[in-house]
């Protein structure tokens, strides 16, 4: 009979070891951050990244605004929504429109984001 409690205790330790722990990288990210991007064709767009729910609110020059959902990615960013696709790493992103047209864009330095 003493084997059952020991087995249950050992099983509990194994389960506890398999529990999901918070990603330490997520703690280092601010809850939200905004960036303005300038594209090769001269257009600009603004993005508010919401790290709390893995989404991005994108506002284009023509006042079109849409919410994109975060997608699994090995490194960098990847968001999709309403036929748009935003991928990148560091300050470089590629925005693909529903038409299939892609724009290469660069994040503007902080303080130069006024449109």
pLDDT of residue 63: 85
Check which CATH number belongs to the domain holding 29 and give it.
Answer: 2.40.128.200
Q: Would you say residue 66 lies in a domain?
A: yes
Distance CA 91, CA 68 (A): 18
**49-102 pLDDT per residue, tens:** 999 999 999 999 888 999 999 999 999 999 999 999 999 999 999 999 999 999
What's the structural domain count of the chain? 1
Q: Would you say residue 19 lies in a domain?
A: no
Where are the extended beta strands (E) located within 1-115? 32-39, 44-50, 55-60, 65-70, 77-81, 84-89, 92-96, 102-107
Contact between 56 and 37 (Cβ < 8 Å): no
Distance CA 44, CA 106 (A): 9
Q: Which two tokens stand for residue 87?
A: 């991928």
Average pLDDT, the chain: 82
Contact between 36 and 115 (Cβ < 8 Å): yes
**For residue 17, pLDDT beyond 60:** no
The domain in which residue 62 lies consists of 25-107
Q: Would you say residue 54 lies in a domain?
A: yes
pLDDT of residue 10: 46
**For residue 2, pLDDT beyond 70:** no
């Amino acid at each position: 009979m003493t084997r059952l409690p020991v087995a249950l205790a050992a099983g509990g330790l194994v389960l506890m070891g398999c529990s999901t722990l918070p990603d330490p990288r997520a703690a280092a990210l601010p809850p939200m951050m905004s960036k303005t991007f300038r594209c090769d064709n001269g257009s600009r767009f603004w993005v508010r990244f919401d790290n709390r729910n893995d989404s991005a609110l994108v506002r284009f020059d023509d006042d079109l605004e849409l919410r994109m959902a975060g997608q699994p990615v090995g490194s960098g960013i990847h968001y999709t929504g309403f036929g748009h696709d935003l991928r990148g790493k560091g300050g470089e992103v590629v925005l693909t429109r529903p038409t299939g047209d892609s724009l290469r864009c660069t994040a503007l330095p902080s303080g130069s984001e006024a449109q």
